[in-house]
Amino acid sequence: CKSVAFVEKGSLRIYNVSENGTEHIFLFALEGQFMTDLSSFFEQVPSVYNIDAIEDSELVLITRTASDELRKLSPKYQEFTFLETSDAYIQLAKRMTSVISLSLEQRYQELITLYPNIVQRVPQHMIASYMGLTPETLSRVRKRMSTNK
């Protein structure tokens, strides 16, 4: 990735496609959030991920070169990028913990609680991919949750 995208309007997803053609969504970004492949952006190597818009979107793109220059010129921008990168790491660590320690129902409930806009705006088949499930399995999880209320 040569740029970081800031989402002014709309939503993005970052994903890869396995050898058998299955999409695996890594994360979503809505308004006010940033999206890039961090390892590709910082290491300047080709990305193994694709990024595309889920909805009509307006983005502000910040190139690696511009970001590097801003970090040199502005301690505030340097602090901002550190905080954003730290937050991305923390969110990924929380997601990994959720995946390995919670049931499917608990993971879906956590998604609803922490990211209600994603659940409302993103198609269910993409949410299933994000959770590592088939759409049919997610449908069964949702049905069990509605039955248990």
pLDDT one-digit tens code per residue, 118-148: 999 999 999 999 999 999 999 999 999 998 7
Q: What is the CATH architecture of 1-101?
A: Sandwich (2.60)
User: Is 62:34 a contact under the CB 8 Å cutoff?
Assistant: no
The token duo for 87 is: 């937050």
The pLDDT of 95-109, averaged and rounded, is 95
Tell me what the mean pLDDT of segment 87-102 comes to. 93
Strand partners, 59: 7
**Percentage of the chain lying above the pLDDT 90 cut:** 95
- Kindly report, residue by residue over 26-69, the tens digit of the pLDDT: 999 999 999 999 999 989 999 999 999 999 999 999 999 999 99
Using an 8 Å Cβ cutoff, are 37 and 45 in contact? no
Per-residue confidence (pLDDT) for residue 148, from 0 to 100: 79
Give residue 56's pLDDT.
97
State phi, psi for 68 to the nearest 5 degrees.
Answer: -60, -45
> Is this model's pTM higher than 0.75 or not?
yes
Spatial separation of the C-alpha atoms in residues 89 and 38, rounded to whole Å: 10
Tell me what pLDDT residue 112 has: 95
Alpha-carbon separation of residue 61 from 2, 97, 124 (angstroms): 9, 31, 28
CB 105 within 8 A of CB 144: yes
